[in-house]
Amino acid sequence: MSSEALASPATWAPRTPAVQTKLPSVGTTIFTVMSALATEHKAINLGQGFPDFGCDPKLVQAVADAMSAGHNQYPPMQGVAPLREAVSAKIEALYGRRYDPAGEVTITAGATQAILTAVLAVVRPGDEVIVLEPCYDSYVPNIELAGGVVVPVPLTPRTFRPDFDRIAAAITPRTRALVINSPHNPSGTVWSRQDMLRLQELLAPTDILLISDEVYEHMVFDGQPHESAARYPGLAARAFIVSSFGKTYHVTGWKVAYVAAPPALTAEFRKVHQFNVFTVNTPVQHGLAAYMADPKPYLELPAFYQRKRDLFRQGLAGSRLKLLPSEGTYFQCVDISDVSDLPESEFCQWLTREIGVAAIPLSAFYGNGFDQRVVRFCFAKKDETLQTALERLAKL
């Protein structure tokens, strides 16, 4: 065949081959839907979880300094040494376990990537992975992409405490991993020492790995400690511990996080990390490393967000929205049953359109859309944003 014939539209037409989706149940997320609706109706967006205030200018300066100093080429695959050392020192100071920066700490492009990479590294087709619902929306598609089988176990409705009998009942010889998240998005609950001890005991006779999503580790209120899996030798020995600089330093758009895990787990993690992300933004890593020399910003974070939590709760106290506890994170959940008969999702859309405040339905965090008449607000906002939202919500 001549090259003209090959190129001729008379003999073939451009065609995109059909693709069988790997994620049939994934569509547009509720976060995108609610944010678009909030923009359309000029509503205050207390839906998606990100601050509307800036980060510390010193952090921006530290990154600018790193760029000026020439830290602009590929860094080491596992992350720059000063940042891995700073992370290791922080974990040791706070939780008493030493992670070797060389072989046990890896810098990632956000916690979302860290969790996906951990799942891809250890979950084989047919392996079961237990998730505790409601849960962050990336866990389930991550497990599905790895060919794993998602085993959802509900947290106790409305209190969101772990139900260890149900977790124990979900364990089978095929269980490869369990994903936990404390402080918990969306509920704002925090696991206690007792919870962690029970988990440690439950997993001890098994080969189940733990993925411990601790991105809100520095947002625990009322003087309570963060019970990192790093504090519990029986858990740490089997855990990928994930935290996110985006949450801690008010820079969610920078997408930099880390994973701490024992050497054997880190080795497998890095095999996958090397070939999907390879390296993470160099100047941001150096900037974060320099900024971490001062622990004050993360040590003061609980008080910073507790004040916003209290402001938001006080403002809602007079409304018919019933406040659930918010022990950590920057989320406040409320029971809507005295205000509306609408399902959570429709209520959130109504609230955005008619009241001008966007929230997220908790049903979005359950595979089966379980509706318990609870919605989530994010209070990581300037005081004036919260005040305006509260004035609007006071009508309820």
Ligand X SMILES: Cc1ncc(COP(=O)(O)O)c(C=O)c1O
Residues that bind ligand X (CB under 6 A): 49, 110-112, 136, 181, 185, 213, 215, 244, 246, 252, 255, 257
Question: Roughly how many angstroms between the first and final C-alpha of the chain, as a whole number?
Answer: 73
CB of 342 to ligand X, least distance (A): 25
* Paired tokens of 351: 């609230």
Of 110 and 148, which CB lies nearer to ligand X in the complex structure? 110
Of 145 and 342, which CB lies nearer to ligand X in the complex structure? 145
Q: How far is CA 356 from CA 42, 50, 234, 295, in A?
A: 7, 18, 48, 38
CB of 140 to ligand X, least distance (A): 13
CB of 328 to ligand X, least distance (A): 11
Of 287 and 356, which CB lies nearer to ligand X in the complex structure? 287
Residue with tokens 């090959």: 6
Of 375 and 390, which CB lies nearer to ligand X in the complex structure? 375
CB of 319 to ligand X, least distance (A): 26
CB of 129 to ligand X, least distance (A): 15
Of 66 and 378, which CB lies nearer to ligand X in the complex structure? 378
CB of 341 to ligand X, least distance (A): 29
- Residue 212 φ/ψ, nearest 5 degrees: -110, 105
Of 111 and 261, which CB lies nearer to ligand X in the complex structure? 111
CB of 257 to ligand X, least distance (A): 4
CB of 249 to ligand X, least distance (A): 11
* Paired tokens of 264: 């054997």
CB of 107 to ligand X, least distance (A): 12
What DSSP string runs through 241-294? EEEEHHHHTT-GGG--EEEE--HHHHHHHHHHHHHHT----HHHHHHHHHHTT-
CB of 118 to ligand X, least distance (A): 12
Of 65 and 137, which CB lies nearer to ligand X in the complex structure? 137
Whether the Cβ atoms of residue 165 and residue 344 lie closer than 8 Å to each other? no
User: What residue is closest to ligand X based on CB?
Assistant: 110
Question: 110: left (phi > 0), else alpha (psi -120 to 50), else beta?
Answer: left
Of 48 and 387, which CB lies nearer to ligand X in the complex structure? 48
* Paired tokens of 322: 């019933």
Of 187 and 356, which CB lies nearer to ligand X in the complex structure? 187
Of 84 and 355, which CB lies nearer to ligand X in the complex structure? 84
What DSSP string runs through 36-65? HHHHHTT-EE-SS---SS---HHHHHHHHH
- Residue 258 φ/ψ, nearest 5 degrees: -145, 160
